[in-house]
């Protein structure tokens, strides 16, 4: 299997390129528009054909590369069915399969950080978006976020996955690349709560400022802008 984890320093975003092997189909999860060229070069180098691009949710801290990648490769743009993006080709339901050659992902609806947040499970690993981070969890104070929904997504869905499952989040701010469900269950400070009420209490006391890019990124990601649109601004 080909599995590449790429990092955007500006937004601390992780992007994933997945394929069953050289010369085969590929998919990308959570691309950042500024790195489009880098992704395309890497795909070319590995002789991969990009057929699907997925965003885990509408991002507030960077502009997604989903639309630009689709423009340049004709790959399908995919998000969960609760997404308000106007440019999607496929909206997946909870528990629906996304397939490319020899690779299968299963969507898991994990609202809380936003109401359009989905995680994607693949064999031994799960892409958790901003629902579950390494030693943290996604904030729940905008984009129809809900700490109660987040609690259910975490405790009733993600933490119920096999303990050895590798966790690949959409961000990390401390240089960590991945974790496991077991490790997060035991050590993630946000997950050491006894009830949804306690979790909501922790989350409401975070007092975070809004992401710098929020007012630009959220509308751009709903509309699905391209590099050309960015240049013309
Ligand atoms: Fe987010």
For residue 212, report the distance from its CA to the centre of ligand 1, in Å.
13
Average pLDDT over residues 67-78: 97
| Whether the predicted pLDDT of 118 surpasses 90 | yes
Q: Does a structural domain hold residue 216?
A: no
For residue 73, report the distance from its CA to the centre of ligand 1, in Å.
25
Span 172-206, pLDDT tens digits: 999 999 999 999 999 999 999 999 999 999 999 99
What is the dihedral angle through the alpha carbons of 71, 103, 81, 223, rounded to the nearest 10 degrees?
-20
Handedness of CA 171, 188, 167, 219 (dihedral sign): negative
Q: Does a structural domain hold residue 220?
A: no
For residue 171, report the distance from its CA to the centre of ligand 1, in Å.
8
For residue 21, report the distance from its CA to the centre of ligand 1, in Å.
30
Count of domains observed in the chain = 1
For residue 221, report the distance from its CA to the centre of ligand 1, in Å.
12
Average pLDDT over residues 77-84: 98
Are 66 and 89 contacting, i.e. CB atoms less than 8 angstroms apart? no
Q: Does a structural domain hold residue 54?
A: yes
Span 123-181, pLDDT tens digits: 999 999 999 999 999 999 999 999 999 999 999 999 999 999 999 999 999 999 999 99
Q: Does a structural domain hold residue 125?
A: yes
CATH code: domain of residue 28? 3.60.15.10
| Owning domain of residue 102 | 2-209
Q: Does a structural domain hold residue 119?
A: yes
In angstroms, the CA 96 to CA 70 distance is 22
Q: Does a structural domain hold residue 130?
A: yes
In angstroms, the CA 4 to CA 198 distance is 37
User: Which among 52, 8, 14, 65 is positioned nearest to 169, based on CA atoms?
Assistant: 14
In angstroms, the CA 200 to CA 169 distance is 21
Q: Does a structural domain hold residue 218?
A: no
Q: Does a structural domain hold residue 7?
A: yes
Alpha-helical segments (H) within the chain: 36-45, 66-73, 147-152, 181-187, 196-204, 214-223, 227-231
In which residue are the tokens 């929904």 written?
149
| Whether the predicted pLDDT of 233 surpasses 90 | no
Backbone φ and ψ of 115, nearest 5°: -85, 0
Q: Structure tokens of 90?
A: 């496929």
């Amino acid at each position: 299997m080909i599995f590449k984890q790429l990092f955007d320093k500006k937004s601390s975003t992780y992007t994933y390129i997945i394929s069953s092997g050289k010369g085969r189909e590929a998919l990308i999860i959570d691309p950042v528009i500024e790195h489009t060229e880098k992704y395309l070069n890497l795909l070319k180098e590995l002789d991969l054909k990009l057929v699907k691009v997925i965003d885990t949710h509408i991002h507030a801290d960077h502009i997604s590369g989903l639309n630009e990648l689709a423009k340049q490769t004709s790959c399908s743009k995919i998000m969960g069915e609760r997404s308000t993006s106007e440019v999607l080709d496929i909206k997946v339901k909870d528990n629906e399969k996304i397939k490319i050659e020899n690779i299968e992902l299963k969507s898991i609806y994990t609202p809380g950080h936003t109401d359009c947040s989905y995680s994607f499970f693949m064999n031994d690993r799960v892409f958790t978006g901003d629902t579950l981070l390494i030693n943290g969890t996604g904030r729940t104070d905008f984009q129809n976020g809900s700490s109660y929904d987040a609690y259910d997504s975490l405790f009733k869905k993600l933490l119920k996955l096999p303990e050895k499952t590798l966790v690949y989040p959409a961000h990390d701010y401390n240089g960590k690349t991945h974790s496991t469900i077991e490790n997060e269950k035991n050590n993630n400070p946000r997950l050491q709560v006894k009830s949804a009420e306690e979790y909501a209490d922790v989350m409401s006391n975070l007092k975070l400022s809004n992401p710098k890019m929020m007012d630009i990124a959220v509308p751009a990601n709903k509309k699905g802008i391209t590099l050309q649109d960015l240049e013309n601004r």
